[in-house]
Structure 1
Amino acid sequence: MVKRHRAPRPHNRAGVWYLIRRVPKEFKAFDKRGIVKITTDIAVADDPRAIRAREVVAKLNDGLEQYWRDLRDGRSNDARARFEAAQSRARALGFTYKTAEEVAAGPLNDILKRLDLLAQKKLLDDETEVAAVLGGVPRARFPLSGLLEEYERLQRSSLDRMSPDQRRIWRNTRKRAIANLISVIGDKEISEITRDDTIAYRRWWQDRIAYHGLDIGTANKEIGQISKMVKAVDMMYQLNLKPVFAQLRIEGGAKKSRAAFTAEFVQTRILAPGALDGLNDEARDLVLLVADTGLRLSEAAGLVAGTIHLDADIPYVSVKPIDRILKTDQSERDIPLVGCALDAMKRHPKGFPRYRDKASSLSALVNKYLGAHGMRPSKAHSLYSLRHTFEDRLTAVEAPEKVIASLMGHKWIRPKYGAGPSLAQKLEWLQRIAFSPPTNDALEVVVQETVLPSK
C-alpha cells in the first residue's frame, strides 16, 4: 500500500497549479523519476485559492498511485515492457527468467550459477542486469478485461493481413467471449482464475444451452477462444499458469449441415425473370455469380479487376488473398465462368466495390429480400445455401471428388501432387450444371452494352 499521511496539495509552479510528489521508497525500483510533476492546466490567476485545483490534484494523485501499484504488480504497459526486457536479457546471459521468489525456491546450484555469472561479468552493481538474472522484475499481470488487447498485440502479424471487416469480426467474437466469462467470474487476473471458475463458466453455458436453446458449438467455440488467448499470453510471458481451461468442451454438439436449395427451385424461382429486380445491380449479380461458381460470399464480394479474367480463352475468376486472408490454404483457386456467373461478371469487370469487404451487409440484404419474396423455403435457407446447392449439383453429375474439392476450395483427402484439375477440366463439369441466366430485358441490354465494342 502507498502510505498517505495527508492529501497532496497543489503547488504553484510558474503560475500554474501542479501535483508534485516524490516517488515513494517502495516504488523507486520501478519509477526512476525521483520527483513527479504533473500539471493541472489551471492557472493560479484563474483559481487563486486552488479550489478547483485541489479536486484535480486529488484525481491526478489517485491515478499516479494506481500507476505505481500497477508498475509494482506487473499490470501496466510499462511493467510488461520491463518484464519482457528482463526476460530477453536473462536469455542473452544464458538463463531462463525467474522471479526472485522462484529463484529462491529453486536449487542452490542455480542460485550460485546466477551469482557467479554476475560476479564474473562485474555486473553486481548494475540494477538492470541483477534484476534480469535474480528476478527483480515481477511477472506481468493481465486482468481479463485487458486480455484481448494483449492477444491482439501478440497476433499482430496475422491481423495485419486481414481486411478491416475480417479484423472486426475476429475482434468482436473474442470480445464477446471475454465479456461472457467476466459476467460469470468477474474481471479476474488470468493468473488467479481457478478450476472452480472455469467449471462455473462451463455450467453457465450448459444452462444457456438447456434453457435458452443456444448452440453447443457456439459454447465450445467461445471456450476454445478464451483458452487459446490465455495460453498465448501464458507462453509469451512465462506465467506458468495451470491448465484450468483444459477439457471443458461440452459433448453432444452435432455439426450443422446448412440447407441447400434444389436446382429446380433456383432456376424457376430465384432465377426467374424479374425475381431479383428489387435488388441493386451489384447484389443481384453477386447472387448470380455465387449460383454458378459456389464462391463464398466474401470471396465473390472481394473480387477485383486483377482477379477477373474475361479475355482469357476460358473466362475465369481467381480467389486470392488480396488485402485479406482466405479461410483456408485450399481456398486460393481459379474458377471458370459459365451461365449466370459469366453474364454477371461481364456486367462487373472490375468487381463489386459496393460490397467489397462487406459480405455481411450483402448477406443481410439478400436474405431479407429472399424471405420477403417467398424465396427461402425454410429459415435454414439463405444466400449461402447457393454454395451448397452448387456442390450438390456437381455431385449429382458425378464430378470427380478432386474436381469438386478444387472448385469448392476444400482440402483434398489425398496428398497434393501436381497442379490439380485444369481450367478446361473444371469447365467441362461446370458446363454440365450451368444455370440459364434470367431472361430479363433490362439485364440483356446491359450485357449487350458491355460486350459490344465502343465505336
Structure 2
Amino acid sequence: MARSAHNDLYLIKRGQSWVYHRRVPTLLLEADGRGRFVRQALGTRDLAVARKQRDLLAAADDELWSSMTLQTNLDGSRAKYAAALKRVRALGFGYATADEIGRSATWEELSSRLESILPTTTPKEVEQAVLGTIEKPRATFEDALRIYTEGPGKQKLANKSKDQLRIWKNIPKRAIARFHEVVGEKALADIDRSDAVRFYRYWLGRIVPDDDAAAMHPSSGNREIGELRKLYREYFSFEHNEKDRLNPFMQLSFAEDGSDTRPPFQTSWLADKFLKPGPLSGLNSEARGVLLAMIETGCRPSEICSLTKNTIVLDHETPHIAIRPRRANDRKNADFAEHGPREVKSAASVRSIPLVGVSLAVFQKFPDGFSRYMDKAGTASQTINSYLDENGLLPTPAHTLYSVRHTFEDRMKTAKIDYEVRMGIFGHSVSRPSYGEGGGLDWQQSLLHEMALPFDPTIV
C-alpha cells in the first residue's frame, strides 16, 4: 500500500468518529463508480483502531484498482475477492458467502452486518463484501500446487536443494500442463471422474499405442496421474477439511514390470573401458571423478555430487564418505551455511560407506568434493552419459551412468556379502528391524576391499 510518513493518511474526523477518505485515481473514476472520493465511516473514536481499519481498507482499494488496471478476469476476480476479505475484516466481520451467512449466521451477526451498511453513502463494494455476494475465486491445479508448496508441503520442501526443488516442481507442472492440453482448464471442484478417465485414456494410448509410435513406460503415466491425485487430495484436505472427498483420480494406474530399470555393466566392461588409461581421458576430471567414485561405492550420482570436505572423511582409521541430509533446521551446520539444504532419498539413504580402490584414490585427489557439480547431479549425469555414448562406451542404448550403481550391487552379490550389509551399503531399507551397524566400517571395508577392481592410478 502506498503510504507517506503521515500516520493519519486517508483519515478525517466527522464529529467524534473517524472516516476513511481517499481520492479515486482519475483514470479509474468511471470503472470504480464510487465518485471522486471513497468515504467509509469507521465507527470508532479510537485513532489506533481507525489506523488499523484504514490500513485494511487502503490495501483493499489498492488491490481493486490494480485489478481494474490489469483488466483480466482471473486476476480481477481474485483481487476483488481479496479486497472483499479486507473490507469485511476492517468492519469487524469474517468474510462468508451469502449462502454461508444464510446457513450459519446468528440473528445478532446478521443484524450487525445490515446495520453496518445502512448509511446511503456506503460504497457498493462494501455492501457486496458484507453481504457475501462477491463470488469466491475457483481454485485450479495451479492454485493447489501453490497452496501445497506454501502450506502442508512447505516443511518438507525446505530441505531440498535448489536443484532438487526445481526438479520436484517440474513434475507437477508438467502433469498440470498436460491435463490442460488433454482435458482443458477446469476448476478443481468441476473435475469429475470422466475427466480423470479421459486423462488416463490419453496415457493408455501412449503406453500401448495403436500405431508405430514409440511406447512410453507405464511409470511416466503413473507419475503424472499420481501428481494430480495428490494435488487434488491435498487441496481439499488442507483448504476445506474434506479428507474423505471422493478423488476422481483414485484407482487409475498402470501395471509396471520393472522394465525401465537400467541394466548393469559386465564387470569386465568396467575393467576394460573405465579402469584403464585412454577411454575416459577426454572427460573433464571432475566428471570422470564422479563416475570412478561410483564404481566402489555404488552411490547415486546425486549423492556423490553433494559430498563436501566435511562428509569426505579421509583422516579416519577407516576412510569413508558420509551420506547425510542438510536440513533447514540445522543452520549451524557448516555445510548448510555454505551450500544450503539438501534432501536424501530416504532414511535408509543416510549411511557411511568405506572407501577402497579407485574410489579412495578419487577422493584423495578431490578431498573437498566436486565443486563444478555441487548439487548439480543432472548436469554431471548428462555430461557423463553424452561422453560415454559419443565414445562407444555404452554396450547398449539402455545403459547409462546409473548402470554403474547396479553393477556394484551385482558385484556385492557375487562376493557373497550378506543381504542386510548389502542393503545398508547400498542405501536400501530392509523389511525387518535392523540391529547394530552391519559389522562396523572396518569390517565393511574389508568386504569391499576383497571385491575391489584393479585400476591404473593414472586414470584418476
Contact 1:22–1:35 at 8 Å: present in 2 too?
A: no
Does residue 1:272 correspond to 2:276, yes or no? yes
Deviations 1:285-333 (A, max 9, x none): 1111100100100000110000011111111010011220001111110
The residue number in structure 1 matching 2:452 is 434
The residue number in structure 2 matching 1:199 is 197
Contact 2:70–2:76 at 8 Å: present in 1 too?
A: no
- 1:148 corresponds to which letter in structure 2? L
Does residue 1:261 correspond to 2:252, yes or no? no
The residue number in structure 2 matching 1:249 is 252
1:217 to 216, 219, 239: 219
1:226 to 213, 225, 228: 228
The residue number in structure 2 matching 1:190 is 188
The residue number in structure 2 matching 1:373 is 391
The residue number in structure 1 matching 2:14 is none
User: What count of residue pairs does the alignment treat as equivalent?
Assistant: 384
Does residue 1:69 correspond to 2:77, yes or no? yes
Distance 1:166 1:174, change over 3 A: same
Q: Summarize the alignment of residues 11-410 of structure 1 with structure 2, pairs less than 5 Å apart.
A: 18-20=27-29, 32=57, 60-61=68-69, 63=71, 69-71=77-79, 78=82, 100-101=98-99, 111=104, 115=106, 141-154=138-151, 155-211=153-209, 212=213, 213-238=215-240, 240=242, 242-256=245-259, 257-322=261-326, 323-410=341-428
Query: What's the offset of the Cα at 1:135?
Result: 8.1
Query: 2-side partners of 1:65 and 1:279: how far apart?
Result: 53
Query: What's the offset of the Cα at 1:417?
Result: 3.1
SS in 1 for 2:352: strand
Deviations 1:161-185 (A, max 9, x none): 1111101100111110000000012
Does residue 1:416 correspond to 2:415, yes or no? no
Query: What's the offset of the Cα at 1:124?
Result: 9.4
Distance 1:143 1:81, change over 3 A: farther
- 1:251 corresponds to which letter in structure 2? F
Q: Normalising to structure 1: TM-score of the pair?
A: 0.73
- Where structure 2 has 5 or more consecutive residues not aligned to the other structure, the ranges are 1-21, 41-55, 118-127, 327-340
- 2:369 corresponds to which letter in structure 1? G
SS in 1 for 2:397: coil
Kindly report structure 1 stretches of 4+ aligned residues shifted beyond 4 Å: 21-25, 31-38, 59-62, 64-68, 79-83, 97-100, 116-119, 122-127, 134-140, 239-242
Distance 1:82 1:266, change over 3 A: farther
- 2:403 corresponds to which letter in structure 1? S
Query: What's the offset of the Cα at 1:253?
Result: 2.4
Deviations 1:45-92 (A, max 9, x none): xxxxxxxxxxxx9x94562876553356x5xxx379879x9xxx99xx
Tell me whether 424-433 or 59-68 shows the greater mean CA deviation.
59-68
Distance 1:60 1:311, change over 3 A: same
Contact 1:199–1:248 at 8 Å: present in 2 too?
A: no
Query: 2-side partners of 1:409 and 1:117: how far apart?
Result: 62
Contact 1:99–1:138 at 8 Å: present in 2 too?
A: yes
- Where structure 1 has 5 or more consecutive residues not aligned to the other structure, the ranges are 1-12, 41-56, 91-96, 444-455
SS in 1 for 2:321: strand
Query: 2-side partners of 1:65 and 1:357: how far apart?
Result: 41
Query: 2-side partners of 1:289 and 1:231: how far apart?
Result: 41
Q: Normalising to structure 2: TM-score of the pair?
A: 0.73
Contact 2:57–2:86 at 8 Å: present in 1 too?
A: no
Distance 1:32 1:334, change over 3 A: same
Distance 1:389 1:37, change over 3 A: closer
- 2:375 corresponds to which letter in structure 1? D
Distance 1:336 1:34, change over 3 A: closer
- 1:339 corresponds to which letter in structure 2? G
- 1:417 corresponds to which letter in structure 2? Y
Query: 2-side partners of 1:412 and 1:23: how far apart?
Result: 66
Query: 1-side partners of 2:433 and 2:84: how far apart?
Result: 44
Deviations 1:320-378 (A, max 9, x none): 11220001111110000000000000000000000111111111111111122222111
Deviations 1:230-288 (A, max 9, x none): 21111121075952434342333212332001112111222122221111111111111
Identity among equivalent pairs (%) = 30
Query: 1-side partners of 2:184 and 2:108: how far apart?
Result: 44
Distance 1:80 1:401, change over 3 A: farther
- 2:145 corresponds to which letter in structure 1? L
Query: 2-side partners of 1:328 and 1:315: how far apart?
Result: 24
- 1:163 corresponds to which letter in structure 2? S
Query: 1-side partners of 2:170 and 2:319: how far apart?
Result: 38
SS in 2 for 1:335: strand
Contact 1:223–1:248 at 8 Å: present in 2 too?
A: no
- 2:77 corresponds to which letter in structure 1? R
Query: 2-side partners of 1:62 and 1:71: how far apart?
Result: 10
Contact 1:19–1:37 at 8 Å: present in 2 too?
A: no
The residue number in structure 2 matching 1:5 is none
The residue number in structure 1 matching 2:5 is none
SS in 2 for 1:289: helix
- 2:255 corresponds to which letter in structure 1? G
